[in-house]
Amino acid sequence: MTKNSLLKENQTFIGVLNPYDNKDKIDNLVKKKINTFSLELLPRITRAQSMDILSSQANLAGYKAVVESFAYFEKAIPMMMTAAGTIPAAKVLVVGAGVAGLQAIATAKRMGAIVFATDVRMASKEQVESLGGKFLTVEGAENLETEGGYAKEASDDFKKKQEELLSETLKKIDIVICTALIPGKKAPVIIKEDMINNMNTGSIIYDLAAVQGGNTAHTKVDEIVNKNGVKIMGESNILNKLPTSASNLYAKNLFNFVSNLYDEENKMININLEDEIIEKTLIK
């Protein structure tokens, strides 16, 4: 017996359903007249922020990626001036300045690192700089942002310019946090093999995009790949290392979503398609 056979007509099914990869399974639910809501499809509007599971979980992932990276880095993070000499601050590059990236910037900065960041969305520049990071701008960059606030695929010309900028930057970077994702598509490979070869021995790359293919040429899920002395890390679910915090935030997101669905007066679920949150997340 399949799991979805336990669901009955007119029941409501809410979750993180990954609709791009599970289309056939979800279509079967819809055919059975099961009200199916995928929380990844929430619109980027103010009223939906308290329900936004992508943001709440990405926030934790960005924090934990920095902590995990620093644990494997074999040098001190902040600058230390001692009688025996000065230890320079670690240099961190965050690739992708969405929710996870911004939290990674804030965490690394708080721990004393010098932080750089890059993103295809020019709107991210102000946010990066407000957290104390330096935004790396590709010359002649276009704003590659969808109406929903997500990144979209870059042109070949932009990719070439970005590669040149990254190649030079990575030569002086100690730790890289990769967070670049395109909804419904394989993660873009941003850090190529030749770039990794030019990094300093002992450097760390933590790839939060590992499950979707990774942002580097050598990312492997749940493995630490050692490439010429550079450790490349990618986990299938980094949130497993923050189970209490992740579960608490997810539960609150879910509660707020169900509260919006619930008709208090009639004591029932009300699927009001005039509500943008309900209309966008319901899979038809």
CATH of the domain at 133: 3.40.50.720
Q: Which one of 11, 50, 110, 150 is the catalytic residue?
A: 150
Domain match, 64 and 204 both: yes
Q: Indicate whether 216 pLDDT > 50.
A: yes
pLDDT tens for each residue of 138-195? 765 555 555 555 555 667 777 788 888 999 999 999 999 999 988 778 999 999 999 9
117 part of a folded domain: yes
- Which residues are registered as beta bridge partners of 262? 269
Please tell me whether residues 112 and 203 are part of one structural domain: yes
Instruction: Return d(Cα 155, Cα 144) in angstroms, integer.
Output: 9
3-state secondary structure of 122: coil
Three-state secondary structure call for residue 280: helix
The DSSP-derived string for 30-90 is: HHTT-EEEEGGG--SSGGGGGG-HHHHHHHHHHHHHHHHHHHH--S-SS-EEETTEEEPPP
Q: In the prediction, which pLDDT does 268 show? A: 85
Per the structure, the complete domain to which residue 161 belongs is given by 55-240
Q: Is the domain of 226 the same as that of 248?
A: no
User: In this structure, are 107 and 151 located in the same domain?
Assistant: yes
Active-site annotation holder among 44, 50, 245, 275? 44
Instruction: Judge if 62 and 197 occupy the same domain.
Output: yes
C-alpha 104/C-alpha 176 separation (Å) is 10
Domain match, 93 and 147 both:
yes
Q: Residue 83: pLDDT band by 50, 70, 90 thresholds? A: very high
Please give the structure tokens belonging to residue 163.
Answer: 């590669």
212 has catalytic annotation: no
Residue 49 domain-assigned (yes or no): no
- Structurally, how many domains does the chain consist of? 2
17 is a domain residue: yes
Note whether residue 265 is domain-resident. Answer: yes
- The percent of residues above 70 in pLDDT, for the chain, comes to 93
Question: Is residue 263 among the annotated active site residues?
Answer: no
Give catalytic status of residue 121 as yes or no.
no
Of 52, 81, 60, 67, the closest CA to residue 243 belongs to: 60
Q: Please write the tens of the pLDDT for every residue from 41-80.
A: 999 999 999 999 999 999 999 999 999 999 999 999 999 9
The predicted structure's pLDDT at residue 181: 87
Could you tell me if 98 and 183 lie in one domain? yes
Pair (224, 182) in one structural domain: yes
Site of tokens 């909804």: 183
Indicate if 230 and 262 belong to the same structural domain: no
Give CA–CA dist 16/26, Å, rounded: 12
Closest residue by Cα to residue 191 from 212, 219, 211: 219
What pLDDT is recorded for position 1? 35
CA gap 104, 95 in Å, rounded: 10
Last residue of a domain, one of 208, 224, 240: 240
**Does residue 231 sit within a domain?**
yes
Helices (H), the chain: 23-31, 53-72, 99-110, 124-130, 156-170, 193-197, 243-261, 276-281
Residue 47 falls in the annotated catalytic set: no
Catalytic pick among 38, 55, 69, 103: 55
| Res 142: pLDDT | 57
By three-state DSSP, how is residue 91 classified? strand
Tell me, yes or no, whether 263 and 229 share the same domain.
no
Q: Is residue 149 in a domain?
A: yes
pTM beyond cutoff 0.75: yes
Mark whether 130 and 20 lie in a shared domain.
no
The C-alpha angle 53, 54, 60, rounded to 5 degrees, equals: 90
Q: Which among 20, 21, 27, 49 is annotated as catalytic?
A: 49
Mean pLDDT of the chain: 91
Identity (one letter) of the amino acid at 162? Q
Residues 76-94 have a mean pLDDT of 96
DSSP 239: G
150 given a catalytic annotation: yes
Strand partners, 235: none
Is 91 within a domain? yes
Does residue 105 form part of some domain? Answer: yes
Domain identity same for 72 and 30: no
